[in-house]
Amino acid sequence: MTLKVYTSLLLLFLVVNSVWTRSVRQVYDELDPEHWSHYTSECPRECFCPPSFPNALYCDNKGLKEIPPIPARIWYLYLQNNLIETVSEKPFVNATHLRWINLNKNKITNGRIESGALSKLKRLLYLFLEDNQLEEVPAPLPVGLEQLRLARNKISRIPEGVFSNLANLTMLDLHQNSLLDSALQSDTFQGLSNLMQLNIAKNSLKKMPLSIPANTLQLFLDNNSIEVIPENYFSAIPKVTFLRLNYNKLSDNGIPPNGFNVSSILDLQLSHNQLTKIPPINAHLEHLHLDHNKIKSVNGTQICPVSIALAEDYGYHGNLPRLRYLRLDGNEIQPPIPLDIMVCFRLLQAVII
């Protein structure tokens, strides 16, 4: 399972880099120095058009209050750190090849996004709208999107069906908004069949969100007020590998007996909660963060995912616990590290108490 997960992540990295490398290569292959003057004359006067990268348009940090007309050749558009309030269709009339738009750190509100201004950008893959003044997820969105970043807005509402046609989306970032449990219905994420990373950290959730897409590998829920993990919650997301629940209100009573005994989870982060004991873990787990809880003691025999007798058998490799990193500082545990911890977790490389 570990190999499959790492292979999936490696493939995702290679695909993203392949797209970027191929795009840059095409730019240089198609670039004719005789046309540089033409590219420069097309460039909006408020922006910078590098001759060596004619498919990119840099309009960041210019104090712009509106989006300038975008030339047809542009694939990568940088508009971050401005004073833009409105997103309308007009600047994008000729920009039919856009792949990437960065509108972070502006003053955009939902009411000032013209209907269709974004959805008509059929080739758009990456849309960054972080640090704006959005109160809900903008809609409609381009159907080809692969990444949507909406962190640090004021989003408290997700319109029904907003993600229903976004089958290509692999990353959705909604962290540091104003989402309540009521905003996440059973069909909220319907349509996100290829989502791999979902970030809902730093919101106002008290419950685990409903109906997380089944292919999710990374789920980030830090800095909420979650108290309970429902029974068999992770059976609906059988591929989840990285799980972050730091800075919540989880107690021993809020975790089912085998709530985190999930073979797919390789990295589990439960720092800054209210746990008094280490919850049962799976033998496949590699990184466990339990710092700053209320744990007073550690019993290796009790937390070992296999019997100590098997762990002591040097010839036993079939289900040898794979834990490599264990963090327990900020609790009430006194050194030294119990010997049975080392007997069980023979692959441990770091223990912090």
Mean pLDDT by groups of 10 residues along the chain of 353 residues: 44 44 40 48 89 94 96 97 97 96 98 95 98 97 98 97 97 98 96 98 97 97 98 96 98 96 98 97 97 94 82 61 96 88 92 92
Q: Return the DSSP state at 60.
A: T
| pLDDT score for 313 | 61
Q: What is the pLDDT of residue 316?
A: 53
Strands 147-149 and 56-58: unpaired
Chain position carrying tokens 């995702």: 12
Rounded distance between C-alpha atoms, residue 63 and residue 272, angstroms = 40
Give me the residue label for tokens 């097309």. 42
For the chain, what's the residue count? 353
Task: Give the pLDDT of residue 337.
Answer: 84
Sign, CA dihedral 236-237-239-244, equals negative
One-letter amino acid of 124: L
